[in-house]
Amino acid sequence: MEIHELIVILGPTATGKTALAVDVARKLNAEIVSADSRQIYRGLDIGTGKDLDEYSEGGEPVPYHLINFLNPGESYNTFQFKADASAIIKDIESRGKMPLVCGGTGLYIESLLLDYHFREATKQEDFRAEAEGMDNQILARQIEVLGGTLSAEDRKNRHRLIRKLEVLLFSEEQKQTRESLKIEKLHVFGIDLPRDIVRRRISDRLIERLDNGMVEEVKGLIEAKVPVEWLSALGLEYRYISNHLRRKMSYPEMFNSLETAIHQFAKRQSTWFRRMEKRGVEIHWINGQLSNDKKLDAIVSTINNQQIK
């Protein structure tokens, strides 16, 4: 599969990625493909920072994809993201518009940029760890996406499904026949902010979200029979607030633990993106303290210069 041109805007949480992506999308006639592993779920709004008004504020609404398309409790993984995002990007291109990937889930973004599972960008032990979290239906879907065939017996045998998918992903013979993902022109931008500013933004935003009903959001999900174990597995807001609602921790304990966990999460995101650079992804870092207008100008100027080369 060939993608002619792709823009990516990435960065840790609380760095203003979405607002900037919307500005860039309006300027360059783009549509946004979200790379956020939690905004895919309906009803997880405050805790994931899913401010959909950002896509329509300040001008013509900007189309977005891979947000609000699954119900809480449904499973989704990197395999599915790569397949879904690739298809959406090709569709955007076919309509004469620019695809723009925006998000902070490093694994999702890396799966596209390093063409996960279509060349030696992943290790088999990484695959096995992820495969254990997939149900049989998802495993079967991935096998079929990659051109494999399944008998009725295969579909019932979890060990066989994992083994078949592993062969499809990693055997040399299969690698030679599978279509790889090729991006002709790639423009990757990261928002760079000093850590103390990111920490302050995270803390201020956490207070704001709690004031705006984040605890009530999680309570409503639990009352709607969304499994608490599933919410806890999402981590961060949904884990700690679920624990608070189950009286496993007081409100102050929940707040302090959650604040620390989000700070640590932002640090891990930054580390992931720096690792991507070491693996060959060129990231143009934009000063996050600039106004959005200046950040927009810097991005457009860089893209224009890359297109000239």
- pLDDT tens-place string over residues 185-200: 999 999 999 999 999 9
Reported CATH class of domain 198-265: mainly alpha
- The residue-averaged pLDDT of 142-148 equals 71
Quote the pTM value: 0.82
- The residue-averaged pLDDT of 215-242 equals 95
pLDDT at 149: 85
2-120+185-194+269-308 and 198-265 have identical folds: no
Where are the chain's structural domains? 2-120+185-194+269-308, 198-265
- Residue 161 · residue 168 · CB < 8 Å: no
- Residue 264 · residue 235 · CB < 8 Å: no
Q: How far apart are CA 228 and CA 235, in angstroms?
A: 11
- pLDDT tens-place string over residues 31-41: 999 999 999 99
Decide which of 3.40.50.300, 3.40.50.720, 3.90.1150.10, 3.40.30.10 is the CATH code for 2-120+185-194+269-308. Answer: 3.40.50.300
